[in-house]
Structure 1
Amino acid sequence: MNTDIHVADVHHALTPQRWQQANQHLVAKILAEFSHERIIAPTAVASVAGNSTTRWQLIIEQQDERWEYGFDARQFMLEHLQVDPASITCTLNGQPKPVDALMLVIALKDKLGISEQLLPTYMEEITSTLYGKAFKLAFRDTPVAALIDADYQEMEASMTEGHPIFIANNGRIGFDEADYLNYTPESARPMRVRWLAGHRNRTNFHALADIHYDNFIEGELGQAQWQHFRQQLKDRQLNPDDYVLIPVHPWQWREKIARVFTADIANQWLIDLGEGSDHYQVQQSIRTFFNLDAPARCYVKTSLSILNMGFMRGLSPYYMARTPAINAFAAKLLASDRFFAEHHFHMLREVATVGYHHRYYEMATSKSSPYHKMLSGLWRESPYALEDPAQPGQPLIKPNQTLMTMAALLHQDSSGDALVAALVSASSLSPSQWLERLLDLYYIPLLHAFFAHDLAFMPHGENLILVMEDYVPVAIFMKDIGEEIALVNPREEPPEEVEGIRFSIADGRAVDVVFTDLFDCIFRFVAPLMASCENFTETAFWQLVTQKTRDYQRAHPENARQYQRYDLFAPEFVRTCLNRIQLRNNQQMINLDERDEELPSAGTLANPLYLAEHGWKTSTDVEDVTTHTTTHMV
């Protein structure tokens, strides 16, 4: 994997051809996702001879302009269009125009519901997303047939899409071109974390009950680095025991801490200790780092005050204070139920956190202000450090096993070939057998957590790690726990220390933890990619999901009331519109303290589980709800 890329290389690689290919890719996504959310209403105009593809047309009229887009797309369940980027054509008042994502956003601006104030920022995010795609086409264009043999971190750096739903998913506003090369997952350049010492009267360290600060930090840094940092404090005539070490992103130090925290630095509430010795690689989440020199040491996650996909990526010291307790609660719950171990469903705990309180900004602003979230960090377990519960003393990850972000199951190379199909082909299993393994590891434990324990995770691909053996998933790790789990309408009172993850949600929307988070955000994309496997179809995919759901419910009749309360076989479910959330406010999509607030929606979607049991409407029918003319924001 080439990590020796320079700014001049990027400039040279940013060619008209790659820029056009990046625009075709993003326009295809805009057409698909905005159709799915009923922001636009393309019309099916003709069948393409020889396959199940349809030709579609979108007309946008404003003042004296008439934009017309044509494209080929296959239609799948959940009103999903799989658009062929190379097929897209564009005309303005009858004259051919290049396929241009920014021009399409401008042409649609009156339909998007985005304010005039936020539109330029959204366009900047679109531009950055295009830049990222062009970079990946130049330097990360690995055919999936080769990528299936990549190691964990090579796979992490080779992901080219980001979130499958959000259009502007690689904004990274705040990074310059050098930062892009130094601190993005696709650059894969080893980096070092900067360390500060924060005085204990302003810094809080929280950890699991069995963790002692000195032993933990020394173990994470190594004895030599730990003693070196302590000696720096002694050389300043300071007592090292009065300070807590804080991991800091180098960009965050340069752009924020060194300026915004100047008073604290001058008064020695904060001491800059310089970079640590370990090299890390940036993960898909961009503010989380994997230790390359000592893989069994923890991931490190830091505050990073760049705008990326609807949030300023800071870390709140208030959230950090409660994170270990939430992780302890979730880990205890999973350990108390043999079901999870039997399904090889594991959790990577966030074992320790640190948060620094800037007194001036805390007095002047509310807790939700980005200025409260500039200087915090956490440590998350590495899967390489875990023991096999069935073989105490033995590592959980065996020598013949590899790790892979579950986001890879949505990955396609520049030729449109799906990595999941390549994995199935390389394995010894049929597509149905392979999918059954995945569902047993991923889908069924998430159902059990919800129906048996009222617990909902945030199960998007980047939040899970698959353990692979002979190209087949054999175990799974759930991560990103502290801010992204919820107790939904719990039947029992939760412990006081985790009251913050308790949410009361109307039953019809509570079941969205399955319908939206799993079906619409994950399976909607995996099913068409699995359908590219030989002798496998989209209906076979959903029939197996249906069968697994029924098998689970029959095996656990003790949750019968919950199955009635949250009906997974309802004819339809609410169509939650994630892009509309970002368009409404691309600075902060949702308030994490009010996650039960009503999310934007646009009607309903037909439930594939209901269709599987009551008769399919074929996904190739031209008549489909995506041809409705409703374009108003909900």
Structure 2
Amino acid sequence: MPFTTTTRVGELTVEPAHAARDARTLHDWLTHPASHYWEMSGLTRQQVHAYLTAMSADDAQDGWLLRHAGTPIAYAETYDPSRTVLDGLPPGTLDHRPGDLGMHLLVAPPPAPRGDTPRIPGLTDAVMTTVMRFCLTPAPDGGRGALRVVVEPDTRNTAIHAKNAAAGFRVLADVDLATDGHTKHARLSACTRDDFAASPLGDDTGPLSSRPAAHLRPALAEAAHRHLVAKALAEFTHERLILPEPDLDPDLDPDPDLDPDPARGPVTGASPAGGAAREVTHDDPRPYALVLDEAPHGAGGGTGGGRVTYRFTARRYPLEHWVIDEASLRRTRTRTRTRTGPGGVEHPAGPDALELVAELQPQLQVPDDLLPVYLEELSSTLAGAMAKRERESSPQSSPQSAPGLVRALSGPDVAGAFQAVESAMTEGHPGFVANNGRIGYSLSDYRAYAPERGGRLRLMWLAARREHTHLALGAGQTEHGLYGTPSTAGELSGAERAAFADRLTARGLDPDDYLYLPVHPWQWEHRVAITFAADVARHDLVPLGPGADEYTPQQSVRTLFNTTRPGHHYVKTATAIQNMGFLRGLSPKYMRDTPAVNDWVADLVTGDATLRRAGFGVLRELAAVGYTGDVYHRTPTDNPYRKMLAALWRESPLPRLADGERVATMAALLHRDATGTALATTLVTASGLDPEHWLRSYLDAYLYPLVHCLLAHDLAFMPHGENLVLVLRDHVVTRVFMKDIGEETAVLGPRPLPARIERLRALVGDEEKALAVFTDMFDGVLRHLSGILAADGVLPAARFWAVVGQVVDRHRDEHPDLAARHGHGLGVDLRARTFAHSCLNRLQLRDTRQLVDLTDQASSLIYAGRLTNPIGTTVTT
């Protein structure tokens, strides 16, 4: 079947050229003076026939005839540039890539002047458009599937240069090409799918996926805004910044249960409504409204003031958790009366997350100078949400659905299923509204490096001068064991070690004077080659090129999973992009003691019989490297630039799995796919277990050991979704691995510690210790999971929290010595009636650039009153 496309001059087709049929036509074209740049004007018809015959027999190139209304109008050739014309270019001229396709184009010469056969206006543009679409369209749709088209016309051919520019080609270099016994001075140029889609000839009528920023379109934006507005309303209400009211018929009496409790009093920075109004729970969806005054010349583009009203239905669960029905969201604006029109008329306006934040600024108390910064991070989150929805809605996305992921977790490809789940996550952090900022990533960076894109990348490697670089190794590790040698493999293969040593030697450098430091490709492009240009120039840092292994970005963005050798270590890089309240770097100073911290925690965990029985394990950070030879380490005060050149290696969970076990990030339990199907609900159904039994198995693996770590050892982790890897058997969680030990572990009591890990200590009172469970687990994870299971009709919230209480009580009953220290108002009381309400979004709204002071996190936190403990002793379940 010929390739067919519609252009401005009508339908054009592309079909294979045949020597017997097309030699005469092509001979007439090639011998015309207008075709002199092809340098084939001296060929006979028989020679053209032989040329086409040889072309069809060569698997590296093909000839194509283009027709308009059945009439031949152009001839094109496509070829593999690495095997034909461009295979001998000087190094660095053209970086041959998978998906490159060379192209030659010959448009039929203009006909002899005749009054009845005028040249069709725009025909040459249509021919170029057709050829480019043919080259770039995926093979299943009839095209050649190229990712980039390469051309090399004669430098004197100004007409084709202009046409190439109109199609989006970028000039790479002028080169001399030897062809058929003569040399052509050629203008080497290349055009990607995005280049063509954005060009004047890429007229946006091709496949939607080939258009620039194809995900930024109304349908996807509407869904993303709706989701983000629902989340913002729910989480800002949870943090007591706002309080929607029941949307009742004014002729009806209000629900007496919703009367505020004057004894509780108002919450600072929130609606004046008291605790009773906030702590209402109901499993049926009920109507609510949030009415906001719109200031003149204020948010939303208003000029006369008025009101903005959000109406929706919601379910309400313990811990002041709201589950808002996104489809029910309605936003209206009521304008006040102006000189040009009446007021009091409601105007529908679709939900808009950015407008919502601008409208809520008085309640959110975002500083004026930081509001645009927060809006930028929210915009990035919104753009990411649209891209995620585009990926999920594509015909190839069925493995991304919740049932598809559960099926993958039943299959034989353990590593593939692990990473399929990792890349499928669409929510980001469940509590933060602006949770996918990634400030610094361009659109192409997002496509290449965002974890939800599911792509692969290769690390860039630097040789860092040893006198300025520290390599920290955990117990049992050696430098040669980590890196490997030219004859043995480690994290680098023997071939890589040999090549890197050769590259250093070729520069006149001694390989023994250097350690190897992996960096993220974005980090190399945006940080190393610019911010540390002086260090590179003096050979304190030497770029060695990409490594051999391919890695998949994890949800934490800067952590990478080795997909080439899945049993090898994760690599965590100091990518140094701004994301969710921090510059995501790694401190070389911190890296010095990170393996020692991990060894101490791992020894404690493996030495505790309770934790061993629970199957609780940690993924150790076995080695870390950091460079400090830059000028930023010699400035008077600490600064973010000191966190841009370090890396660590963390154990992979795969070598520690038994037959039949599968792994998935715990963040997956809070994931809903594009259809709204929850992965947790799908897992429960697939397991065949009673939901309470499924939940208890998960809590025995997650909650029980972390409660034990706190009560027995004063040891607290950061146990959010991405910091735990779940081990599942038959879709049931049976044990967990904790990770991110070096940066997110604390010892909250006076127990003795080795001097090297004294940095872990954070002395706090017993009530604050309990927040390691209440805030980080109950409010940060279980609140959301409970809402999913309750809203899906899997497990009522009361029963969910009853099981949580039973697991806490089981630990108490099995450890009477600890119960004597922690209980009945003594020590850490996990059955306390209330606990301090620590708020994450309030931190980000205060300063989106840095949430907390990492040297004194406790004093940086923001509280909004107290939350009722859903397993508190006075709570009836």
TM-score, normalised with respect to structure 2: 0.67
Q: Is 1:384 paired with 2:654? A: yes
Identify which of 361, 364, 367 aligns with 2:635: 364
Equivalent runs, 1:77-116 vs 2, <5 Å: 77-93=318-334, 94-116=346-368
Equivalent runs, 1:21-32 vs 2, <5 Å: 21-32=223-234
Identify which of 115, 138, 143 aligns with 2:401: 143
2:692 aligned partner, one-letter code: S
CA distance in 2, matches of 1:400, 1:615: 39
Identify which of 458, 464, 483 aligns with 1:192: 458
Equivalent runs, 1:66-81 vs 2, <5 Å: 66-81=307-322
Deviations 1:203-250 (CA, angstroms, capped at 9, x unpaired)? 110011311112211111111111111121122221111111000011
Deviations 1:565-612 (CA, angstroms, capped at 9, x unpaired)? 11111111111110000111111111221122141111111111116x
Aligned partners of 2:283 and 2:315 also within 8 Å: no
Q: How far off is 1:11 after superposition?
A: 2.6
Q: Is 1:337 paired with 2:604? A: no
In structure 2, the residue corresponding to 1:160 is in which secondary structure?
Answer: coil
Aligned to 2:299: none
Q: Which moved more, 1:234-243 or 1:30-39?
A: 234-243
Identify which of 438, 446, 449 aligns with 1:172: 438
Aligned partners of 1:287 and 1:302 also within 8 Å: yes
CA distance in 2, matches of 1:365, 1:198: 24
Q: How far off is 1:365 after superposition?
A: 4.6
In structure 1, the residue corresponding to 2:512 is in which secondary structure?
Answer: helix
Aligned partners of 2:719 and 2:776 also within 8 Å: yes
Q: How far off is 1:46 after superposition?
A: 4.0
Deviations 1:532-568 (CA, angstroms, capped at 9, x unpaired)? 5656311111001111111110110111213321111
CA distance in 1, matches of 2:671, 2:232: 17
Deviations 1:404-454 (CA, angstroms, capped at 9, x unpaired)? 100000001223221111100011211011111101100000000000011
1:377 aligned partner, one-letter code: A
Aligned partners of 2:464 and 2:541 also within 8 Å: yes
Unaligned runs of 5+ in 2: 1-139, 141-145, 148-192, 198-208, 250-281, 296-304, 335-345, 394-399, 409-416, 485-489
Aligned partners of 1:409 and 1:419 also within 8 Å: yes
Aligned partners of 2:540 and 2:629 also within 8 Å: no
Aligned partners of 2:606 and 2:617 also within 8 Å: no
CA distance in 1, matches of 2:776, 2:734: 22
Deviations 1:257-308 (CA, angstroms, capped at 9, x unpaired)? 1111111111111100010010000000000100011001100010112110
Q: Is 1:217 paired with 2:483? A: yes
CA distance in 1, matches of 2:348, 2:426: 29
Q: Is 1:615 paired with 2:876? A: yes
Aligned to 1:270: 541
Q: How far off is 1:149 after superposition?
A: 2.0
Aligned partners of 1:112 and 1:583 also within 8 Å: yes
Q: Between Structure 1 and Structure 2, whose CA radius of gyration is higher?
A: 2
Aligned partners of 2:587 and 2:642 also within 8 Å: yes
CA distance in 1, matches of 2:687, 2:347: 49
Q: Is 1:287 paired with 2:558? A: yes
CA distance in 2, matches of 1:398, 1:210: 23
In structure 2, the residue corresponding to 1:327 is in which secondary structure?
Answer: helix
Q: Is 1:202 paired with 2:473? A: no
1:349 aligned partner, one-letter code: R
CA distance in 1, matches of 2:630, 2:646: 14
Aligned to 1:162: 428
In structure 2, the residue corresponding to 1:382 is in which secondary structure?
Answer: coil
Q: Is 1:36 paired with 2:238? A: yes
Equivalent runs, 1:283-362 vs 2, <5 Å: 283-362=554-633
Aligned to 2:808: 549
1:11 aligned partner, one-letter code: A
CA distance in 2, matches of 1:143, 1:242: 50
Aligned to 1:624: none
After superposition, the Cα gap between the structure-2 partners of 1:262 and 1:11, relative to the gap in structure 1 and judged at 3 Å, is closer
Identify which of 824, 827, 834 aligns with 1:565: 827
Aligned partners of 1:199 and 1:269 also within 8 Å: yes
Equivalent runs, 1:413-562 vs 2, <5 Å: 413-490=673-750, 492-532=751-791, 536-559=795-818, 560-562=820-822
Deviations 1:9-51 (CA, angstroms, capped at 9, x unpaired)? 263343211100000000000000000011111112249xx97
In structure 2, the residue corresponding to 1:456 is in which secondary structure?
Answer: strand
CA distance in 2, matches of 1:535, 1:494: 45
TM-score, normalised with respect to structure 1: 0.92
In structure 1, the residue corresponding to 2:455 is in which secondary structure?
Answer: coil
Aligned partners of 1:352 and 1:380 also within 8 Å: yes
Aligned partners of 1:431 and 1:533 also within 8 Å: no
Deviations 1:103-157 (CA, angstroms, capped at 9, x unpaired)? 0011011221222221111111111111111111111353312221231111111
Aligned partners of 1:197 and 1:244 also within 8 Å: yes
Aligned partners of 2:725 and 2:738 also within 8 Å: yes
CA distance in 2, matches of 1:65, 1:470: 56
Q: Is 1:404 paired with 2:664? A: yes
In structure 2, the residue corresponding to 1:579 is in which secondary structure?
Answer: helix
Question: CA RMSD, aligned part only?
Answer: 1.9
2:424 aligned partner, one-letter code: S
CA distance in 2, matches of 1:199, 1:153: 35
CA distance in 2, matches of 1:521, 1:282: 24
Q: Is 1:133 paired with 2:380? A: no
- Identical-residue share of aligned pairs (%): 42
CA distance in 2, matches of 1:287, 1:69: 37
In structure 1, the residue corresponding to 2:214 is in which secondary structure?
Answer: helix
Unaligned runs of 5+ in 1: 386-395, 617-634
In structure 1, the residue corresponding to 2:213 is in which secondary structure?
Answer: helix
In structure 1, the residue corresponding to 2:634 is in which secondary structure?
Answer: helix
CA distance in 2, matches of 1:272, 1:234: 13
1:197 aligned partner, one-letter code: A
1:594 aligned partner, one-letter code: D
Q: Is 1:240 paired with 2:511? A: yes
CA distance in 2, matches of 1:119, 1:604: 27
Q: How far off is 1:172 after superposition?
A: 0.6
After superposition, the Cα gap between the structure-2 partners of 1:532 and 1:471, relative to the gap in structure 1 and judged at 3 Å, is farther
1:411 aligned partner, one-letter code: H
CA distance in 2, matches of 1:472, 1:535: 15
Aligned partners of 1:202 and 1:358 also within 8 Å: yes
Deviations 1:500-532 (CA, angstroms, capped at 9, x unpaired)? 010011322221001100100011001122225
In structure 2, the residue corresponding to 1:35 is in which secondary structure?
Answer: helix
CA distance in 2, matches of 1:157, 1:132: 13
Aligned partners of 1:140 and 1:186 also within 8 Å: no
Identify which of 575, 588, 592 aligns with 2:837: 575
CA distance in 2, matches of 1:411, 1:357: 40
After superposition, the Cα gap between the structure-2 partners of 1:346 and 1:116, relative to the gap in structure 1 and judged at 3 Å, is same
Identify which of 285, 292, 307 aligns with 1:53: 285
**Equivalent pairs, count:** 600
CA distance in 2, matches of 1:33, 1:614: 23
CA distance in 2, matches of 1:86, 1:532: 14
Aligned partners of 2:247 and 2:311 also within 8 Å: no
2:347 aligned partner, one-letter code: Q
Aligned to 1:622: none
Q: How far off is 1:358 after superposition?
A: 4.0
2:675 aligned partner, one-letter code: S
Aligned partners of 2:370 and 2:847 also within 8 Å: yes
In structure 2, the residue corresponding to 1:124 is in which secondary structure?
Answer: helix
